[in-house]
Homo-oligomer: A and B are copies of this chain.
Amino acid sequence: MKREQQAAAEGILYTDMYQLTMAQLYFRMGLHERPAQFDHFFRSYPDYGNHRAGYCINAGLEWLLDWMGEARFRQGEIDYLRGLRSTGGARIFADDFLAWLGENGHFEGLTLRAVPEGRVVHPNVPLTVVQGPLAMAQILETSLLNHLNYQTLIATKACRIRQGGRGRPMLEFGLRRGPELGANAGARAALIGGADFTSNVGVSRVMGFPPKGTHAHSMVQAFMALGQSELDAFRAYAELYPDDCLLLVDTIDTLESGIPNAIRVFEELKRKGHRPNGVRLDSGDLAYLSIQVARRLNDAGFPDVNIVLSNQLDELVLWQILTQIEQDAADYGVDPEALINRLVYGVGTSLIASNGHSALDGVYKMVALQDGGEWKPAIKISENPDKVSNPGEKAVWRVYDQRGKATADVLGLASEQPDPQDSLLLRHPTDHSAYRRLPPSNISGIEPLLIDVLREGRLVYDCPAIAEIRQQREADLERLDSGVQRIVNPHIYHVSLTQKLWDLKQDLIRSV
């Protein structure tokens, strides 16, 4: 897409047509400026087929806010909409509505509360709550979901892969297999969820991270096509990057050619006073090869250089590799822990495309509308009880048990304030017979999850740096039961309603 087209396609028209036709209908009914409230939440954890998530990592808010700050209906958009025709040939959008849009078609009237990025989050918990004039709050839906769904999906996958790799350093490599320009958001989400660095230069620049990388097979191939050798290629690379010498050793044969050549070059570097960085294995049996490579590097006096693994890595593949290293390394005279502690992962496709589950099912539902100065709760009924929305303006708390572990996320009425001296009744969101009561002795803390971000369009929140977001992630994981963190078959985390919210929901269901 050409740059000028991009501005047109990524501005306020980055939405679904029905948002605009509904907005005009609200305008026609005089409802367009009626204060409304929408909740954003996702319905279910990603399920990757043979394994599934027991938690997600929230991400995407800052870039959504950037978009909201710049998107508005300008003359170009108004002119475009004026030209649209219905099937019958009549104009779809009338002049009075377009005039209103030209004046008011921005997000400066919206108030937004949100769960911060990097936090562990669960289904059906409002992660973003939007209040403001009905028409613009409705138009926001598509872009809000688009920005938040994908980054949360990728941050979650990154966190899982990091877990499968036991927290060893992880580089995001996925731009080439990523979803076109969305890959930039994916790289950011990866940095939030679990990657230490990305190879994506543009995103690294914008985020203030050093971009990372090694070299490709094509470099070795180029030397060979000119009658030179893998060793010549490695030497040239080492000479140019003596302090960042990470060599890809599988262009010809990892153990027969790549590793002996790398060791020769490392010895030359060492003599010149440099510390070689490592080798990268990109094919073959990575568990077996990493043991053999570690042994050869140890024998050659390089027990500390990194062994970077890449090639279709995800949480299960890493888990399996590390398990096999633990079982087999000693048979070859390699200490498994020492080997694991020198591993680094390059993760591409599986992360950026969230292999196995490639879209988060976040939704944006109207939960209240003002009438006569009073909020009227709204509900969406469904034959599937899980799809019946939780109505009204709500508060969201995370409750920690006596061990300091999160035991439930609780949705209640905005007017409620749980009393830490009282026991807390937690109702299952749909099952009438399922509830539990937490005595005060079992509660070590009750934490509100939503914070103020926009107040009538004014930013009242400092978007934290990635480093801070990662601290939040780690702090939340620390307080998350290990059963919920399991990669396969995780324990179900409780998301509950207070009795008052439960009663409101049942009243509304009956009234429909």
Q: Is the CB–CB distance between A218 and B2 below 8 Å?
A: no
Report A403 CB to chain B, min CB distance, Å: 37
Residues on B with beta carbons closer than 8 Å to the beta carbon of A84 = 210-211
Residues on B with beta carbons closer than 8 Å to the beta carbon of A240 = 21, 24-25, 28
Report A195 CB to chain B, min CB distance, Å: 14
Q: With contacts A146-B178, A181-B182, A184-B181 known, is A66 near B251, CB below 8 A?
A: no
In angstroms, Cα B3 to Cα A236, docked, is 39
Interface centre among A151, A200, A212, A236 (most CB of B within 10 A): A200
Q: Is the CB–CB distance between B9 and A366 below 8 Å?
A: no
| A239 nearest CB neighbor, chain B only | B28
Q: Is the CB–CB distance between A378 and B202 below 8 Å?
A: no
**Selected interface stretch from A316-324, A352-360, A405-413, A421-429:** A352-360
Q: Is the CB–CB distance between B218 and A10 below 8 Å?
A: no
- A284 in the interface (beta carbon within 8 A): yes
- A450 in the interface (beta carbon within 8 A): no
Residues on B with beta carbons closer than 8 Å to the beta carbon of A56 = none
- A383 in the interface (beta carbon within 8 A): yes
- A8 in the interface (beta carbon within 8 A): yes
Q: Is the CB–CB distance between B201 and A21 below 8 Å?
A: no
Report A22 CB to chain B, min CB distance, Å: 5
| A383 nearest CB neighbor, chain B only | B284
Residues on B with beta carbons closer than 8 Å to the beta carbon of A149 = 176-177
In angstroms, Cα B43 to Cα A177, docked, is 13
Q: Is the CB–CB distance between B243 and A86 below 8 Å?
A: yes
Interface of A is mostly: mixed
Give the size range of A's interface with the partner.
35 or more
In angstroms, Cα B213 to Cα A358, docked, is 24
- A169 in the interface (beta carbon within 8 A): no
Residues on B with beta carbons closer than 8 Å to the beta carbon of A28 = 236, 240
Q: Is the CB–CB distance between B181 and A8 below 8 Å?
A: no
Q: Is the CB–CB distance between B90 and A243 below 8 Å?
A: yes
Residues on B with beta carbons closer than 8 Å to the beta carbon of A203 = 9
Q: Is the CB–CB distance between A349 and B376 below 8 Å?
A: no
Q: With contacts A66-B1, A80-B205, A226-B369 known, is A22 near B179, CB below 8 A?
A: no
**Selected interface stretch from A11-19, A116-124, A160-168, A337-345:** A11-19
The proximity string for A residues 192-204 relative to B, scoring 1 for CB distances below 8 Å and 0 otherwise, is: 0000000111111
- A87 in the interface (beta carbon within 8 A): yes
The proximity string for A residues 325-356 relative to B, scoring 1 for CB distances below 8 Å and 0 otherwise, is: 00000000000000000000000010011110
Q: Which positions 207-228 of chain A face chain B at CB distance < 8 Å?
A: 210-219, 221-222, 224-227
**Selected interface stretch from A137-145, A292-300, A465-473, A488-496:** A137-145
In angstroms, Cα B24 to Cα A230, docked, is 18
In angstroms, Cα B353 to Cα A186, docked, is 13
Q: Is the CB–CB distance between B366 and A355 below 8 Å?
A: no
Residues on B with beta carbons closer than 8 Å to the beta carbon of A377 = 225
Report A147 CB to chain B, min CB distance, Å: 6
Q: Is the CB–CB distance between B359 and A353 below 8 Å?
A: yes
Q: With contacts A215-B21, A369-B226 known, is A88 near B352, CB below 8 A?
A: no
The proximity string for A residues 351-388 relative to B, scoring 1 for CB distances below 8 Å and 0 otherwise, is: 01111001111101110110100001111111110010
Chain A residues close to B by CB (< 8 Å): 1-3, 5, 8-11, 13-22, 24-26, 28-29, 31, 36, 38, 49, 60, 63, 66, 69-70, 80, 84-90, 92, 134, 138, 141-143, 145-147, 149-151, 173, 175-186, 188, 199-206, 210-219, 221-222, 224-227, 236-237, 240-244, 251-253, 274, 277, 283-284, 349, 352-355, 358-362, 364-366, 368-369, 371, 376-384, 387, 512
* 22 A/B residue pairs, CB under 8 Å, sorted by A: A1-B63, A1-B185, A2-B69, A8-B202, A13-B202, A16-B201, A17-B199, A18-B216, A19-B213, A22-B218, A25-B236, A25-B237, A146-B180, A146-B183, A176-B362, A180-B185, A180-B186, A181-B182, A181-B184, A182-B183, A225-B376, A226-B371
Question: Given A80-B205, A181-B184, 13 more contacts at CB 8 Å?
Answer: A2-B66, A14-B184, A15-B201, A19-B213, A36-B222, A86-B244, A146-B180, A151-B180, A179-B179, A180-B185, A251-B381, A353-B359, A358-B358
3 residue pairs, one from A and one from B, having the closest CB atoms? A182-B182, A88-B243, A18-B213
